[in-house]
Amino acid sequence: MSSDVVTAVGLTKRYRRSQRPAVDNVSFEIARGETIGLLGPNGAGKTTLIKMICGVTTPTSGQVRVFDADPVRQPVAAKSDIGAMHQSGPFDMMLPALDNLRIAARFRGLKWRAVRPWALELAEFLSLTEALPRFCFQLSGGQRQRLQLVRALLTIPRLLVLDEPSAGLDVVGRRHIERFVTWLREEHGVTVLWTSHHIDELERNSQRVLVIDKGRVLRFAKPRELVEEFGTTHLLVALDDPAAGLVVLAWAEAAGLTATAEDSDVRIHGARAQEVLPELSRHCLEHDVAISGVSTVSDSLEQVFLRMTEAED
């Protein structure tokens, strides 16, 4: 019996009238307690992959197993411990939010009396308590988004699938979800598969990131490993006078380097300090420009992701 929560081998999904597979020969393993970021541009196959893991869509070929069971042929064994928050899970808009949670509990065979205390605690954590008596059509998009998370977590699952959980949320709401997901993983060993257009979320919270494009896996690695492999280190020059940035930009252009101004700083892309600082310092001294500090910065996961997917086009 496999110790992995999710195992995919040669997983492929083709739709009729489509020129290429939505998911193309994908293989990977997700271990218990991992938070995995699923990253890809629109149309990359993320949603199709999630549907196959949840047993909503049948693979054309290959295999996916969840808790060592087939989600389509063995739905009870595979899906009973999955909590899924999808991008647009429907609510009965003419019922109060609390009644929607009651219905969801009944649909999943749960006794509302048993899960109610936990649901109310989670709603309070997500600042939803005052919204529960209101009709769903009266809720904001962000409130409905958080209500979906409560519905997905009426019981603590072994696998939590989050499909754009922070869509429509402000920064505070996003951080609430991040802290809660971290708590689920650390305290209850919950495995999380998380897709988001906020790539910084995945960089902060994922142990590994599965990068896909055009249905294929480009890389499955730790965020730090992706940055080291595909990223670039830049030189950040801090200046006391923002106008002095023009002097540094002109020098970089003359030296054949690419540079951009960032407020009072200038970022010299792909430059190493030991290679450029002596000449840059002489140039600034000649033009009476004071450098207040120099540091090196690396690309973010978002910049690396853009570079990886642009290379595939």
Under the phi-then-psi rule, with left for phi > 0, alpha for psi from -120 to 50, and beta for the rest, what region is 150? alpha
pTM of the shown model: 0.79
Banded model confidence at residue 178, pLDDT cuts 50, 70, 90: confident
Q: Which helix (H) or strand (E) holds 82?
A: strand 82-85
Task: Compute the half-sphere exposure of residue 150: CA atoms within 13 Å on the CB side of its CA.
Answer: 31
Which of residues 101 and 290 earns the better pLDDT score? 101
The fold for domain 4-228 equals: Rossmann fold (3.40.50)
Q: Quick one: DSSP state of residue 133?
A: T
Report the C-alpha dihedral over residues 115, 118, 124, 128, rounded to 10 degrees: -30
Give tens-digit pLDDT for 242-292.
788 888 988 888 888 888 888 788 888 877 767 888 888 899 888 888 888
Q: How far is Cα of residue 21 from the mean position of the Cα atoms in its chain? A: 23
Could you state, in order of their start, the residue ranges of all structural domains in the chain?
A: 4-228, 232-298
Q: How far apart are CA 276 and CA 129, in angstroms?
A: 57
Q: How far is Cα of residue 138 from the mean position of the Cα atoms in its chain? A: 28
Q: Which helix (H) or strand (E) holds 40?
A: none
Q: How far is Cα of residue 262 from the mean position of the Cα atoms in its chain? A: 27
Q: For the chain, give the percent of residues with pLDDT over 70.
A: 97
232-298 CATH choice from 3.30.70.100, 2.40.170.20, 3.40.640.10, 3.40.50.300: 3.30.70.100
